């Protein structure tokens, strides 16, 4: 499968939102309450929120196969350290999961990280998302710690922080 990756422009927020709304219920439907799932989707993936994330230097990348979007990632350069390349988001449509698309995204992100003088990929993964944890471990990520985030309305999320050294060369 050939995938083209392109940096998302602010006007492409709807593509990101559509993918999020298609993946989150499948990914988190059994892990979060319906209220928390809806609240988080609205909080993170409204038009205003996506555009604000882009303004805060979160670079979104959309993957396309045969002209159709199949997933997206969001990254931030120099996250808490000049070496860290933070993957804030990586979501692949359910119909494309298990086909190597996530690995292709990570390979593309690692290439971008190296081009911008980063030697570490970092991400946070929800502690209850065992499928994602296994995927990231299989891709060479290891645990660095845990972090809890208050989201408002009484909701909190506990994540594992995972890293992968990619060198720079």
Crossing angle for the helix pair 34-45 and 47-55, nearest 10 degrees? 50
User: Residue 60: beta bridge partners?
Assistant: 74
Residue 157 belongs to a domain: no
Q: Read off the pLDDT of each residue in 19-33 and give the average, rounded to a whole number.
A: 95
Confidence (pLDDT) at 83: 81
Residue 39 belongs to a domain: yes
Residue 110 belongs to a domain: yes
pTM, to two decimals? 0.93
Domain range for 32 is 4-122
Residue 73 belongs to a domain: yes
Residue 129 belongs to a domain: no
Residue 139 belongs to a domain: no
How many CA atoms does the CB half-sphere of 88 hold within 13 Å? 17
Per residue in 112-168, pLDDT (tens digit) is 999 988 999 999 999 999 999 999 999 999 999 999 999 988 888 999 999 999 986
Confidence (pLDDT) at 87: 97
How many domains is the chain built from?
A: 1
Per residue in 67-125, pLDDT (tens digit) is 999 999 999 998 888 888 999 999 999 999 999 999 999 999 999 999 988 999 999 99
Which runs of consecutive H residues, i.e. helices, occur in the chain?
13-28, 34-45, 47-55, 101-115, 130-138
Residue 108 belongs to a domain: yes
Residue 132 belongs to a domain: no
CATH number at 32 reads 3.40.630.30
The H helix count followed by the E strand count for the chain is 5, 7
């Amino acid at each position: 499968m050939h995938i083209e990756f392109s940096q998302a422009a602010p006007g492409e927020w709807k593509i990101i939102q559509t993918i999020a709304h298609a993946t989150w219920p499948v990914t988190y439907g059994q892990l979060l309450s319906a209220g928390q799932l809806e609240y988080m989707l609205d909080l993170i993936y409204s038009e205003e929120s996506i555009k604000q994330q882009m303004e805060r230097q979160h670079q979104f990348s959309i993957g396309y196969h045969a002209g159709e979007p199949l997933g997206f990632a969001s990254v931030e350069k120099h996250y808490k350290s000049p070496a860290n390349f933070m993957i804030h988001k990586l979501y692949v449509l359910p119909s494309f999961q298990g086909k190597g698309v996530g690995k292709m995204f990570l390979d593309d992100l690692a290439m971008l990280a190296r081009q911008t003088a980063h030697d570490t990929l970092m991400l946070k993964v929800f502690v209850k998302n065992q499928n994602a944890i296994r995927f990231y471990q299989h891709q060479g990520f290891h645990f660095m710690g845990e972090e809890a985030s208050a989201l408002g309305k009484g909701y909190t999320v506990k994540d594992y922080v995972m890293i992968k050294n990619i060198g720079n060369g």
